[in-house]
Amino acid sequence: MKKTTVLRKAIMERRAVTLPGAHDAFSARVIERCGFEGVQVSGYGVAGSLLARPDVGLVQMKDVLDVTWNIVQAVDIPVMADVDTGGGNAVNAAWVIERLIALGAAGMNIEDQVFPKRCGHMAGKEVIDAEEMAGKVRACAAVRDRLDPDFIINARTDAFAGLGLDEAVRRCNLYLEAGADLVFVDGIRTRADIERAVGEVRGPLSVNLMDGISGMKTELIPITDLAAMGVGRVSIPVASIMVMHRALTDFFTALRESPTGTLPGQTQWVTSFEEYTDFVGLKDYRALEDEYLPKQRLQSKYGDVEKIVG
C-alpha cells in the first residue's frame, strides 16, 4: 500500500493518529524505530537544526525540500512535510506540492500566516485573507488530484490567537471546501475549544501537543481522549529538537564541569558505539562491500578481520 494511502486511512479513521516531529533524518528514524505510524517534519526543528535560529521564516524552501527528502529516504513510515506558507502565492504553493509528491512525502502542512511566518505558539502572528489561503489550497488540491489523490493536504489556520475560535472554524471549513483533507487550528487553548472545533469543523481536525514545555498554548490532553473526540491527527511538533537540546546541554555541561574533562564510567549519557553503528546501518554497508568490492581490495582495507564495527 502506498504511504499516502496508509496515512490517509489512518487520519480518516479519526483515531488521533500520532505523528511526532522530526528535525532531520536521524530523529525520524528514531521515531520510526520507537513504533510510531508516521512522522511530521518539524518546521521549528528544521530552523533550529539547520540555522540555530527561531522559526520565523528564515529557512529557504529548497532547504525544506532537501530535509524532507532526507527524512523520506531514511524511514519506511509516511512523512508529512511542513511548507509554512507555501513559498509564496497559490502558484508557488502548487509548485511545492508537486515537488513533495515527486520526492515521496505522504502529506504536507500549509498555513494562512502572513510571510514571514512564525511558530504557532509565538506572539505577533498575522494571517492573510481567508479567500487567498483558499486559493492556495485549491491550487494544491488540483496538483494532488492529478498526481496522487491520497496525498494529504493539512490546511492550518493561525486565526485563533487574533480573531478567535469562530473565525478559525470558519476558515477551516472554507479550506476543506477548497480541497483540504485535514485542518488544524494552531494555538487552540482548551479541551472545550477542541471539542467544539471537532463538532463544528466539517472534516478531520489535527491537534498539536507537547508535554513538559512551558509556553505551549494548547492544553495537554491524553491521546486516548482526543481519539474519543474524533480528532484525526495529533502532531508532537518540537519534541525531537527540544529533547536533543536538553540532552546535548546536559552532557556538555557535565563534561565541561568535570575536574578531569572526562566522564569515566558514566555510560548513561551515550549510546554504545556498536549500538549506534547498528542503528545507522554500518553492517548493511559492510555487507555491500563484501558483495561488490574485489577481494584484494577488502583484504587491503580490513586484513583478516571478518567483522568491522568502525
- Beta 107-111 vs 152-157: how paired, if at all? parallel
List of residues 6+ apart from 157 with CB closer than 8 A: 111, 112, 127, 133, 168, 171, 172, 175, 183, 184, 185, 186
List of residues 6+ apart from 277 with CB closer than 8 A: 283, 309, 310
Sign of CA dihedral 128, 131, 132, 135: positive
Rounded-to-integer distance, Cα 34 and Cα 31, Å: 5
CATH class held by domain 3-245: alpha beta
Copy the grid coordinates of residue 308.
568491522
pLDDT band of 121, cuts 50, 70, 90: low
> What pLDDT, in 10s, does the model give residues 277-301?
999 999 999 999 999 999 999 999 8
Q: Where in the chain is the domain with CATH 3.20.20.60?
A: 3-245
> What pLDDT, in 10s, does the model give residues 168-212?
999 999 999 999 999 999 989 999 999 999 999 999 999 998 764
Residue-level pLDDT at 305: 54
Better pLDDT: 211 or 219:
219
pLDDT score of 79 more than 50? yes
